[in-house]
């Protein structure tokens, strides 16, 4: 059965049993590591090294949150550090934003394609957007190309966006981890305290604790000593969220380019074999020349109903219809070109009540 020598020491001369006494006795090999762990509740664990003064003492902060608050880390940076340290849930880029950017004419995704993939994208666009010159800096071209890809090759486009988002998030997370670790090494520089990427486990040596207690002539508890040494040392670091935009790159170029090439080849192969693609493009062009896309259009023969063109699929026009007839309803339909005009001008052919 383990017997703590410290209990005996406390009984013999209680007035002398401060933390410095325990540290010195441990350093002289007079007590074991578990005795030193029992000496102060702020000590989480002790790892014995030789000489004994080089032994590690890890502190019981309870959580990395307590450490960040002690160091005076800005709240936004505190949340960012927590998210960047997580093995899941970190998100710098997201699919919705990338789709929205492309839809608005910003070709961020396409900019990261290598020469081979951009050339293949150019070949694809020559068939899908034959009326516009390939120019990734032209918002109208990018909008048009995105709309056709999203209508006709949703799966392939979604996969390319997934690949891009995953690679950017991985790159930002890895680079920002390095940056944050460098900052925290600077915070602890000269203090004799260390961490291994886990702020909850800050540690130092027995020798450093003895030195600090004597240097500062410290008479308080161990927790107060450690907190006084580290307090507010993080005040000059941060702005991590803003800085992370410097790392919007691709983590694994070969994987990214090969994966993108696979999806583009699928599209090109389908286009090369699809005899109906030109007919689809003609229908799309005819409709777009007369009606706006993604804008509500009143249905002329019924002032209670509106229609919005939301896309194209093969030879069909995808529309969303709202109707106040009876009770308010919103529903979607896929219409042939003929039925699209019927909806506008021969509304009697459609039942908007059901």
Residue 69 has pLDDT above 60, yes or no: yes
Q: Is 223 helix (H, G, I), strand (E, B) or coil?
A: helix
Mean per-residue pLDDT for 47-54? 95
What's the pLDDT tens digit per position in 222-268?
999 999 999 999 888 888 989 899 998 899 999 999 999 999 999 98
List the chain domain ranges. 5-66+174-244, 95-168+250-273, 282-349
* Per-residue pLDDT at 281 exceeds 80: no
Global confidence as pTM? 0.67
Cα separation of 323 and 295, whole Å? Answer: 15
**Both tokens assigned to 205:** 């040596």
pLDDT band, residue 119 (cuts 50/70/90)? very high
Report how far residue 301's alpha carbon sits from residue 317's, in angstroms, rounded to the nearest whole number.
20
Task: Write down the pLDDT at residue 353.
Answer: 57
pLDDT of residue 4: 40
């Amino acid at each position: 059965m383990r017997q703590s020598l410290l209990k005996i020491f406390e009984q013999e001369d209680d007035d002398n049993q401060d933390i410095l006494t325990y540290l010195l006795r441990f350093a002289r090999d007079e007590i074991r590591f578990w005795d030193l762990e029992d000496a102060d509740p702020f000590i989480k664990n002790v790892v014995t090294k030789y000489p004994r003064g080089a032994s590690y003492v890890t502190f019981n902060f309870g959580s990395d949150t307590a450490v960040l608050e002690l160091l005076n880390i800005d709240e936004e940076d505190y949340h960012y550090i927590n998210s960047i340290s997580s093995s899941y849930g970190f998100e710098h880029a997201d699919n919705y934003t990338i789709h929205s950017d492309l839809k608005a004419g910003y070709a961020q995704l396409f900019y990261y394609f290598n020469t081979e993939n951009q050339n293949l994208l150019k070949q694809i666009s020559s068939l899908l957007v034959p009326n516009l010159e390939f120019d990734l800096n032209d918002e109208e071209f990018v909008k048009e190309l995105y709309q056709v890809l999203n209508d006709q090759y949703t799966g392939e486009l979604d996969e390319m966006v997934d690949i891009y988002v995953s690679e950017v998030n991985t790159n930002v997370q890895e680079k920002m981890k390095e940056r944050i670790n460098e900052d925290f090494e600077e915070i602890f520089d000269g203090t004799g305290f260390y961490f291994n990427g886990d702020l909850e486990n800050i540690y130092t040596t027995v020798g450093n604790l003895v030195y600090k207690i004597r240097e500062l002539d410290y008479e308080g508890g161990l927790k107060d000593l450690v907190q006084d040494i580290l307090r507010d040392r993080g005040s000059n670091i941060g702005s991590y969220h803003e800085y992370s935009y410097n790392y919007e790159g691709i983590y694994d170029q070969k994987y990214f380019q090969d994966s993108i090439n696979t999806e583009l080849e699928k599209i090109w192969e389908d286009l090369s074999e699809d005899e109906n693609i030109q007919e689809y493009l003609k229908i799309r062009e005819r409709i777009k020349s007369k009606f706006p896309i993604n804008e509500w259009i009143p249905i002329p023969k019924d002032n209670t109903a509106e229609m919005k063109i939301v896309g194209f699929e093969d030879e069909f026009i995808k529309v969303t219809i709202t109707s106040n007839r009876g009770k308010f309803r919103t529903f979607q339909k896929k219409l042939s070109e003929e039925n699209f005009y019927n909806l506008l001008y021969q509304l009697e052919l459609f039942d908007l009540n059901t």
